[in-house]
Structure 1
Amino acid sequence: MTQPEAFFEPGFAEGGAELHLRDGGVWQLPVPRWSADAGPGDQRLLVRCSGATLDVGCGPGRMAAALSDRGVRALGVDVSPSAVAMARSRGANALIRDIFSLGGGRRWQHILLVDGNVGIGGDPVRLLWLCRDLLLPGGNVLVDVAPPGTGLQVTTARLVGAGGAGGWFAWAVLGFDALEVVAAAAGLRVADAWFVEDEQRWQAELVAADTWPAPRRAA
């Protein structure tokens, strides 16, 4: 059985792949786009990165490589040895790491959670809280999220590709409509948000919140 770490093993995702949710939902994964150079939708995020950038779940490293080519210091982290090897082969600086194992300290100006990686670990609030703690003052978290109407789905998922089906792992799908609430729970706020029509991608910039939202009164 293929595990998430082996997703980028040669042959596993040839012709594309799908993310199967435990409740029966299926998400098509744009593997060719992930393996190509940074595209137009990626540029909307990359232009907001001017300093030290952490690319979480970097995969084959298109984002970290693009930043390095621009002279921006970037580090990609991924649990997949194959993905990290691919990232390094294209000139990106990348490490085999679980984001939750990284040490603390505010040392990143920007953190990327692209391609739905805000779902890593099945708890977006926990992940975004960690990102907030890793940001330098004035930094931002840049995310891709699912379309409006998706809400927040906390589930388990597995990858299905030409090489077989993987084992189940904790995952979450965060929709554009739920982003503001989830970000607030992690001490962040939505500073800007936009839609990339050509690639059908919903993206946002999150920054540290100055205040906590007031609790809602019961009806």
Structure 2
Amino acid sequence: MNRVPAAVVPAAHGSWTREPAGWRADPYTAALTTGQGPLYLRSREGGVVPLGVERWCAAPDAADRTVIARCEGTVLDIGCGPGRFVTALALAGYRTLGIDVSTAAVHRTVRHGGAALVRSVFEPLPREGWWNTALLVDGNIGIGGDPDALLTRTADVVAPGGLLIAEVADGDVDERLDVCVDDGRSDHTHGGHGPAGQGRARADDGGFFPWARLGARALVRHARATGRWSRQAAWELEGRTFVALRRKRERPAPSLPGPVPPPSG
């Protein structure tokens, strides 16, 4: 398979997905720089969800490899973070692109040999409607705090008959919450776009941004509600749960266009 050329392309000028200058020293960026936590998503109510920074910055583990083994054709990693899936898939010969609004995450992905863009899933993307597989792992089904909107948008990006692999929370969870990124080392909160970089922070609201948490049953329920996805499989390994969805062929797939240019802003 041909590979997408490695590139770092910023979002359009003025877009809310651009990384604020003051966020370049936030806890998420610092954690990516060192490859170490601790790092959390902290809700307004004070609850915390630990983030696996060390795992994200390492080579794919056994659970990750079950995801890689199920990928088909071209792969878009939504909220790619430091890029372990992007680089592993590229080495395996897949045509793969990661997107993330964190500049630090995208630069780390490219340094390790992956192709990545500074981009939100809700912005225009290269090859929309032609990706064979999309990934929403490491809790990225929470992006934007609106699973229906995210699943609908992902269906626009993936080709008819394409695959979405999502990692979900344990148990029967279906919740919306406002969170901020926190390293647990100070009393003040840290704003930003979140660990996967796709949600919009509220600059006047203490850095909190909308997020969602879904279990497997909730994900399938929301996916079916869009009318564009059907459940294909679910599996667990090492305490992590994944669900594969198949995009319905609601219209005939058009023929593949001509040569694909490199990603551009």
Pick from 4, 12, 15 the counterpart of residue 37 of structure 2.
15
**Structure 2 stretches lacking a partner, 5+ long:** 1-19, 191-206, 251-265
Distance (whole Å) between structure 2 residues aligned to residue 45 and residue 4 of structure 1: 31
**1:90–1:57: structure 2 CA closer, same or farther, 3 Å change rule?**
same
Amino acid at match of 2:72: S
In structure 2, the partner of 1:215 is: none
Distance (whole Å) between structure 2 residues aligned to residue 184 and residue 177 of structure 1: 11
In structure 1, the partner of 2:229 is: 188
Q: Please report the TM-score for the alignment, with normalisation by the length of structure 2.
A: 0.72
In structure 2, the partner of 1:118 is: 141
In structure 2, the partner of 1:143 is: 166
3-state SS of 1:16 partner: coil
In structure 1, the partner of 2:214 is: 174
In structure 1, the partner of 2:117 is: 95
Give runs of aligned pairs for residues 48-59 of structure 1, distance below 5 A: 48-59=70-81
**1:89–1:188: structure 2 CA closer, same or farther, 3 Å change rule?**
same
The structure with more strand, counted as a fraction of residues: 1
Give 1:162 shift.
Answer: 5.6
Distance (whole Å) between structure 2 residues aligned to residue 141 and residue 52 of structure 1: 12
**RMSD, aligned CA:** 2.3
Q: In 1, are the aligned partners of 2:161 and 2:249 still within 8 Å (CA)?
A: no
Distance (whole Å) between structure 1 residues aligned to residue 246 and residue 230 of structure 2: 6
Q: Please report the TM-score for the alignment, with normalisation by the length of structure 1.
A: 0.87
Q: In 2, are the aligned partners of 1:184 and 1:209 still within 8 Å (CA)?
A: no
Amino acid at match of 1:207: R
Between stretches 76-85 and 22-31, larger displacement belongs to: 22-31
Give 1:50 shift.
Answer: 3.0
3-state SS of 1:204 partner: strand
Q: In 2, are the aligned partners of 1:15 and 1:162 still within 8 Å (CA)?
A: no
Residues 45-84 of structure 1: CA distance to partner in whole angstroms, max 9, x if unpaired?
Answer: 1111131110000000000000000010000000000000
Distance (whole Å) between structure 2 residues aligned to residue 155 and residue 4 of structure 1: 24
**1:132–1:101: structure 2 CA closer, same or farther, 3 Å change rule?**
same
Distance (whole Å) between structure 2 residues aligned to residue 84 and residue 125 of structure 1: 26
Between stretches 92-101 and 161-170, larger displacement belongs to: 161-170
Give 1:95 shift.
Answer: 0.5
In structure 1, the partner of 2:82 is: 60
Pick from 197, 201, 204 the counterpart of residue 243 of structure 2.
204
Distance (whole Å) between structure 2 residues aligned to residue 102 and residue 115 of structure 1: 23
Q: Determine if the alignment matches structure 1 residue 25 to structure 2 residue 64.
A: no
Q: In 1, are the aligned partners of 2:134 and 2:165 still within 8 Å (CA)?
A: yes
In structure 2, the partner of 1:134 is: 157
In structure 1, the partner of 2:105 is: 83
**1:185–1:7: structure 2 CA closer, same or farther, 3 Å change rule?**
farther
Amino acid at match of 1:59: G
Residues 133-152 of structure 1: CA distance to partner in whole angstroms, max 9, x if unpaired?
Answer: 111122110000001122x1
Q: In 2, are the aligned partners of 1:6 and 1:80 still within 8 Å (CA)?
A: no
Number of residue equivalences: 208
In structure 2, the partner of 1:160 is: 182
Residues 27-55 of structure 1: CA distance to partner in whole angstroms, max 9, x if unpaired?
Answer: 11111000101111111111111311100
3-state SS of 1:101 partner: coil
Percent identity of the aligned residues? 36
**1:184–1:3: structure 2 CA closer, same or farther, 3 Å change rule?**
farther
Q: In 2, are the aligned partners of 1:11 and 1:163 still within 8 Å (CA)?
A: no
Amino acid at match of 2:157: L
